[in-house]
Amino acid sequence: MLLRLGEHHFWLALADSDVLLWARGVAVGAGMNVEIREPDVSPLQIQGPKAKDVMERLFGERVRGLRYYHFFETELDGIPLIVTRTGWTGEVGYEIYLRDGRRGDDLWERIMEAGRSHQIRPTGPSDIRRIEAGILNWGADMTLENNVYEVGLDRLVDEGKRGPYIGKEALEKIRREGVTRKLVGVEIAGEPIPFNPVTWIVKAGGVAVGRVTSAVWSPRLKKNIGYAMVPVAQAALTSRLSVDIPDIGERPAVVVPRPFVDPDKTIPRR
């Protein structure tokens, strides 16, 4: 997430990584006159079908007019915040960035009170919803070993851009030569499976060919769904595979379109 707080003031919010060191290296290498540091802020998310109702109790009617991927700066009982219309679930959702760490308990209590009548519950990241929505997890579904063409994010590359940018030549080379593997959506047969803490072996014709990066039971779809990195030869829709699940055994699987739910992102835009 890239937020522009001022003409020359940007926030980059993302998963755990060494991006701070990387950004500083880019700035030095390019001779930029910039200050790069970690802001003293703490984010949390309010996600789900009742998110707007909870947020309206906190911030008033203003939140209902906040467009998808927009934000505003505000205060809640003197607590300085930034509210964004974003999230990691593919649901209607918001992220709240606390700008004064001393007020964390105050903010938490106000949020829980606003959501009490809606049965609000605290939890960690919702892997079920992010997998359903086609959201990838850095460090699991993609790493530094991958490129955008392998993981299906090539829509984010402006192939007609004339100006220079980091990785341009490498991306052009990959596009010309093609890739040998792809991240695909899979449905895994059988009873509900737990979320995988490690990668699982994927086989084709009894031979190991790839790995499941993320998989989980979807109560919404009543299916086991996930992502698998497989050779291009096994990446076509309807390709038949099998997944070796520790302590469970081998299960049939099939390549299916992703995302699994709401491909046009109509739900979070509501």
Q: Which residues contact 151 (CB under 8 A, 6 or more apart)?
A: 136, 141, 142, 182, 183
Sequential pLDDT tens for the chain (270 residues): 999 999 999 999 988 788 999 999 999 999 999 999 999 999 999 999 999 999 999 999 999 999 999 999 999 999 999 999 999 999 999 999 999 999 999 999 999 999 999 999 999 989 999 999 999 999 999 998 999 999 999 999 998 999 989 999 999 999 999 999 999 999 999 999 999 999 999 999 999 999 999 999 999 999 999 999 999 999 999 999 999 999 999 999 999 999 999 999 999 998
What is the per-residue pLDDT for 15?
A: 80
Q: Is the pTM of this model over 0.85?
A: yes
The residue extents of the domains of the chain are 2-126, 130-256
Q: Which CATH superfamily is domain 2-126 in?
A: Probable tRNA modification gtpase trme; domain 1 (3.30.1360.120)
What is the per-residue pLDDT for 70?
A: 97
Using CA atoms, how far residue 196 sits from 44, 81, 137, 227, 228, in Å, is 24, 35, 13, 11, 12
Which amino acid, one-letter code, is at 227? Answer: Y
130-256 — its CATH code? 2.40.30.110
User: b/e map of 171-192 (b: 16 or more CB within 10 Å)?
Assistant: beebeeeebebbbbbbbbebee
What is the per-residue pLDDT for 89?
A: 95
Separation between Cα atoms, residue 44 and residue 10, nearest integer Å: 19
Separation between Cα atoms, residue 128 and residue 195, nearest integer Å: 8
Cβ atoms < 10 Å from Cβ of 143: 11
What is the per-residue pLDDT for 208?
A: 98
Angle at alpha carbon of residue 146, lines to 95 and 139, rounded to 5° = 45
